Amino acid sequence: MRTFKILFNALRSLTIGKLWKLFWLFLQHPLFTIISFYATLKTFNIAKKEYPKTNSNDGEGNAFRHALWCCLIMMYCCKISSPKKSLDFTKKMTDLHEELFPNKPLQKKMDLHNNKIGMNFFMELLPGIHRQFFETSFFIEKLKDKTANAKVLKNLNDNFEGSLVYLNFNEK
């Protein structure tokens, strides 16, 4: 129930222009948008369970949540469409999220980086598993391993290609 309240309050905070962008994405990809909403709810619940202290701040749990979010959106979208279309939509959706709910530059870099890690991770797994047979459990343990090896992002010039990143290093 708390997850619905958070999402409702987030949507309520959007301006008319931002709501229009979200609605336009829905008009372009209605099924993908509905699927991504479901993936968002599922991701919040999993991240809250796995990382109760850092899933909603800029800690390791946030890095895990962003990567898992992209994996789940892609997984569900791939069940009804091609991996290429799923990847394109996931990038569009997650980039729009960062535009609709702006953060400070370092937080934005962290979120976009972790989204990219999640999308790349899904694409790495794709050749070995038929897209219809993907399950959420395929991602959780491997992303937890990646989270355990996450790097602290300290400035906009940091480049940790292939690693998840987080900001508040006091939670470790």
How does pLDDT run across 26-74, given as a tens digit for each residue? 999 999 999 999 999 999 999 999 999 998 889 999 999 999 999 999 9
Helix (H) or strand (E) holding 139: helix 137-148
Token pair belonging to 81: 């469409």
Helix (H) or strand (E) holding 116: helix 105-125
3-class state of residue 72 by DSSP: helix
pLDDT above 90 coverage of the chain, percent: 67
Helix axes 83-100, 30-50, angle to 10 degrees: 70
Task: Enter the pTM of the model.
Answer: 0.89
pLDDT for res 171: 43
Q: Which long-range contacts (CB under 8 A, 24 or more apart) does 95-98 make?
A: 96/21, 96/22, 96/25
Question: pLDDT tens digits, residue range 116-142?
Answer: 999 999 999 998 887 778 888 889 999
Least Cα distance to 61 among 159, 155, 147 occurs for 147
Dist. CA 136–CA 25, nearest whole Å: 25
Q: What is the mean pLDDT of the chain?
A: 90
| Position 1 pLDDT exceeds 90 | no
Dist. CA 130–CA 100, nearest whole Å: 33
Dist. CA 7–CA 111, nearest whole Å: 18
Exposed e or buried b for every residue in 85-110, given b needs 16+ CB within 10 A? ebbebbbebbeebbebeeeeebeebb
